Structure 1
C-alpha cells in the first residue's frame, strides 16, 4: 500500500531534509534581498524616503507568500507530476476563484495601489471618508492604518473606495478664527499679521520650498473669509504651504499661537445671545 503512495527510493529523512533545505535556502535568499535593498536605499537618494519604505514593506510581505509557494511545490514534487498540476491548475483556479472572489479583489486592488503609488508607508490618509490615520503597512491584501488615537485599523484593499491622501508632497495650513461683530476688523488683521510673523520664524524648516530653495508660501493674512460666520461673527484666516510630514505639527502650533494672541489681546469671540421677542 505504501509503495503505491510513496515513490520508489523514497525516504522520510531525505524528504524532510529537502524541505528544510528549500525553506532555509528561500528564506536566506529573501533575507539577503531585503538587506541589500535596505543598505542600497540607506546609501543612496534616488527615491523619496517614503517610497523606499513602501518598497521594503512590499518585498517583505511578498517574500512570505513566495516562500510558502516554493516550499509547497518542493513538498508535493515527489508525489505528483508538476506538469499535470499545471494543467489541472486552470480548472482548479476557476473553481477556487468563485469561492475566493473577495480575496482576489483585495489582491488586485493592492497591486494597483502599489503600482500607481496611490499610497505610501507613512502617508496620513482618510479611507472612505471615515477615520483618518497614518499608513503603517501596505500589502497586496490589506492596508494597515494607525489612527490618531493609537488604535490599529486593518482595511481589506477591496473595501477601499475613496482615499483622501494628505501626504502628496505639500499641504496647506489654513486656520481661521471667528471674532465678535463688536471687534475692530483692522485690529484683528494687525494681530493676525503679527501671528504670521511669529509663525514664520518658528516654522521656517516646515515650509515647502521651490527649486531655488525659497519658501513657496509663508504664513500670511489670507483675509476675511466671511461676514456672517456662525456663530455670529467675522471669520478671519491665515495660510501657509508646508511639507506634508510637518502638517500636523504646523497646524497645531498655528492654532495654539493664534489662541494665545487672542487671549492676550482680550479679543472677544462670538457668544450665544438670548433674544427676547415682544409679546403679542
Structure 2
C-alpha cells in the first residue's frame, strides 16, 4: 500500500501537477474576467461578487485536487474510502457543517440575495457592508470598523438594505490633531444640507417620508492607516439614484472641509517631511 520507490520521481511529478493546477486556474479566472468585460447583462456588483466567489472556488478545488494527487501516490484511495464505512461515516459527521456552509453559500449567491458592497443586518445584531464573500463565510465591515466573520450555517436571519435601495456611506478621514467637537458640528451641518438639497434622492415610505435621511454617524473608525479618524455620513436612497447621490454627498463633504479648514489626514511620509523640513 505504501511505495517508497516513488520518492525518486515524486518531487518532479508533484511540482509539475502544482504548476498545471496554477496555470489552469489562472486561465479560467482570466476567461471569466474577459467574459464579464465583454458582456453587460449583469451589473457591476453582481460581476464582482461572482468573480470573487469563483476565485474562492478555484482555490479550494485546486487544493483538493492537489492533495488527492499527492495522497494517491502513497495510498490506494479507492480501497481506503470504499473499504471503510466507519471512516466514511465519521468524515461525513466531521465535515457536515463545512458541507452545509458550502451549500448555503451557493444558495445565497445564485438566488442573488447578497452582493459585495451590500449593507446587511445578520441575525438582528450585526450590521455593516459586505467586504468578502468566500465559499464558507461572509465578512462584513461594521460601523465601528471591526470586521465580523460569520459562516453561512450560522446565519438564521439576513436583512439586505440594497434591494431596491442603496445606502450612501461617505466619509472624511481627518487628522488626529483635528478637534472632534468642531468636526462633529461641521458633519452635522453637512447632513442637514444634504437632507434639504437632495431629498428627492432619499427612499420614501408609503406616506412620502424618508425611510432614513442623511445622518452623521460620528467617528466610525479610529487611526485609519495610522493617519487619522474616519467621520462618516450615510443615507438610504433609491437604487437608481445611488451614483448621483454619492457624488453630491462627496461634494458637500469636500466643500465643508474646505470652508471650515478641517485638517485632512495625510500620509505619514508627507507629515514627517513637513515636520523635519528646515524651511517649514
- TM-score past 0.5 threshold: yes
Contact 2:162 2:239 in 1 (8 A): no
Q: TM-score, normalised by structure 2?
A: 0.60
| Residue 31 (structure 1) aligned to one of 26, 32, 40 | 26
Q: TM-score, normalised by structure 1?
A: 0.60
CA RMSD between the two structures: 3.8
> Structure 1, unaligned stretches of length 5 or more?
174-193, 208-216, 224-238, 257-280
**Deviation sequence 1:47-101 (CA, Å, 0-9, x none):** 1111111111111111122111111121122223343245247643321222343
Q: How many residues align?
A: 202
The CA distance in 2 between the partners of 1:129 and 1:59, in whole Å, is: 29
Cα distance 1:96–1:244, how it changes in 2: closer, same or farther (>3 A)? farther
Given the alignment of the two structures, is residue 241 of structure 1 paired with residue 227 of structure 2, yes or no?
no
| Residue 151 (structure 2) aligned to one of 141, 144, 156 | 156
The CA distance in 2 between the partners of 1:244 and 1:146, in whole Å, is: 23
| Residue 163 (structure 2) aligned to one of 168, 193, 206 | 168
1:137-216 paired onto structure 2 within 5 Å? 137-170=132-165, 198-199=197-198
1:59-208 paired onto structure 2 within 5 Å? 59-88=54-83, 91-170=86-165, 198-199=197-198
Contact 1:50 1:120 in 2 (8 A): yes
Contact 2:121 2:160 in 1 (8 A): yes
* Aligned twin of 1:56: 51
The CA distance in 2 between the partners of 1:89 and 1:143, in whole Å, is: 35
SS in 2 for 1:33: helix
SS in 1 for 2:22: helix
The CA distance in 2 between the partners of 1:135 and 1:26, in whole Å, is: 30
1:253-264 paired onto structure 2 within 5 Å? none
The CA distance in 1 between the partners of 2:104 and 2:8, in whole Å, is: 43
The CA distance in 2 between the partners of 1:247 and 1:101, in whole Å, is: 46
Shift of 1:11: 4.0
The CA distance in 2 between the partners of 1:57 and 1:81, in whole Å, is: 35
> Structure 2, unaligned stretches of length 5 or more?
169-192, 210-235, 254-280
Cα distance 1:197–1:127, how it changes in 2: closer, same or farther (>3 A)? closer
Decide which structure has the larger Cα Rg and report it: 1
Cα distance 1:37–1:169, how it changes in 2: closer, same or farther (>3 A)? farther
Contact 2:3 2:74 in 1 (8 A): yes
SS in 1 for 2:116: coil
The CA distance in 2 between the partners of 1:63 and 1:80, in whole Å, is: 25
SS in 2 for 1:144: strand
The CA distance in 1 between the partners of 2:84 and 2:129, in whole Å, is: 39
